Amino acid sequence: MNNPNLCSICGKPAAVRLSNPERRLCAEHFIKDAEERVFEAIDAAEMIREGDRVLVGLSGGKDSTALILILSEYVKTRPDVKLIAVTIDEGIAEYREDTIKAAERLVEHTGVEHGIISFTELFGDTLDRLVADRKNLACSICGVLRRRSLTEAARRFDADSIATGHNLDDEAQSVLMNMLRGDKPSLIQDSSLGYTGYFVPRIKPLAVLSEKEIVTYIMLKGFYTPLPECPYAVTALRMEARKIIGTLEERYPGTKLNIVRFRDGIRKHVPYSPKGTKGKLNTCKICGELTSGEICQVCRVLNRKQSDE
Amino acid sequence: MKIILPDRKTIEEEREPAVIKDILESLGINPASVIVAKNGNIVPDDVILENADELKIISFAHGG
Same domain assignment for residues A137 and A172 = yes
Rounded Cα distance, A62 and A225, in Å: 8
Q: Is the pLDDT of residue B62 over 70?
A: no
| pTM score | 0.90
Dihedral pair phi/psi, residue A133, rounded to 5°: -105, 15
Same domain assignment for residues A175 and A292 = no
What contacts B5, CB < 8 A, 6 or more positions away?
A: B11, B27, B57
The rounded percent of chain A whose pLDDT value lies above 70 is 92
Q: Tens digits of per-residue pLDDT, A11-38?
A: 999 999 998 888 999 999 999 999 999 9
Q: Tens digits of per-residue pLDDT, A164-194?
A: 999 999 999 999 999 999 988 888 887 776 6
Range(s) of the domain holding residue B17: 2-59
- Residue that wins the pLDDT comparison between A113 and A195: A113
Residue A3 lies in a domain: no
Q: Which H or E run contains A57?
A: strand A53-57
Same domain assignment for residues A36 and A47 = yes
What angle separates helix A255-268 from helix A168-181, to the nearest 10 degrees?
60
- Give the pLDDT confidence score for residue A193 in this predicted structure: 64
Same domain assignment for residues A298 and A190 = no
Whether the complex's predicted ipTM is more than 0.90 is answered with yes
Q: Tens digits of per-residue pLDDT, A294-305?
A: 899 999 999 888
Rounded Cα distance, A40 and A69, in Å: 16
Range(s) of the domain holding residue A102: 28-276
Closest by Cα among A161, A152, A149, A155 to A42: A161
User: Using the beta-carbon criterion (under 8 Å), do A16 and B19 form an inter-chain contact?
Assistant: no
Q: What is the CA radius of gyration of chain B?
A: 11
Q: Is the pLDDT of residue A271 over 90?
A: no
User: Using the beta-carbon criterion (under 8 Å), do A15 and B60 form an inter-chain contact?
Assistant: no
Q: Does A220 touch chain B (CB under 8 A)?
A: yes
Residue B41 lies in a domain: yes
Q: Tens digits of per-residue pLDDT, B9-56?
A: 999 988 899 999 999 999 999 888 899 999 999 999 999 999 999 999
- Give the pLDDT confidence score for residue A307 in this predicted structure: 67
Same domain assignment for residues A244 and A221 = yes
The rounded percent of chain A whose pLDDT value lies above 90 is 65
Same domain assignment for residues A51 and A70 = yes
Q: What is the CA radius of gyration of chain A?
A: 20
Closest by Cα among A140, A55, A57, A48 to A103: A57
CATH number at residue A36: 3.40.50.620
Question: What residue type is A5 in one-letter code?
Answer: N
- Give the pLDDT confidence score for residue A57 in this predicted structure: 95
Residue B55 lies in a domain: yes
- Nearest CB neighbour to A5, from listed B30, B43, B62: B43
- Give the pLDDT confidence score for residue B11 in this predicted structure: 94
Q: Does A12 touch chain B (CB under 8 A)?
A: no
Rounded Cα distance, A265 and A195, in Å: 20
Q: With contact defined as beta carbons under 8 Å apart, do A35 and A72 qualify?
A: no
- Residue that wins the pLDDT comparison between B62 and A136: A136
Which of chain A's residues have a Cβ under 8 Å away from the Cβ of B30? 246-247, 250
- Give the pLDDT confidence score for residue A97 in this predicted structure: 85
Q: Give how far Cα B40 sits from Cα of A30, A40, A126, Å.
A: 17, 32, 41
Q: Tens digits of per-residue pLDDT, A45-67?
A: 999 999 999 999 999 999 999 99
CA-CA-CA-CA dihedral for A41, A45, A46, A47, to nearest 10: -70
- Nearest CB neighbour to B60, from listed A14, A17, A211: A211
CA-CA-CA-CA dihedral for A163, A168, A170, A173, to nearest 10: 140
CA distance B12 to chain A (A): 24
Which of chain B's residues have a Cβ under 8 Å away from the Cβ of A229? 62-63
Q: Is the pLDDT of residue A272 over 80?
A: no
The confidence band for A232, taking pLDDT boundaries of 50, 70 and 90, is confident
pLDDT averaged over every residue in chain A: 89
Give strand ranges (E) for A130-287.
161-163, 202-203, 282-283
Same domain assignment for residues A134 and A281 = no
Residue A214 lies in a domain: yes
Q: Is the pLDDT of residue A1 over 70?
A: no
DSSP annotation of A229: P
User: Using the beta-carbon criterion (under 8 Å), do A27 and B42 form an inter-chain contact?
Assistant: yes
CA-CA-CA-CA dihedral for A208, A213, A217, A218, to nearest 10: 100
Same domain assignment for residues A218 and A291 = no
CATH number at residue B17: 3.10.20.30
Q: Looking at the 3D structure of chain A, how many domains does it have?
A: 2
User: Helix (H, G, I), strand (E, B), or coil: what is residue A301?
Assistant: helix
Question: What residue type is A234 in one-letter code?
Answer: V
Q: Looking at the 3D structure of chain B, how many domains does it have?
A: 1
- Give the pLDDT confidence score for residue A282 in this predicted structure: 83
Chain A and chain B share a number of CB contacts under 8 A equal to 64
What value, to the nearest 5°, has the Cα angle with vertex A280 and ends A277 and A284? 85
What angle separates helix A62-74 from helix A211-220, to the nearest 10 degrees?
70
Residue B64 lies in a domain: no
Same domain assignment for residues A180 and A211 = yes
- Give the pLDDT confidence score for residue A299 in this predicted structure: 94
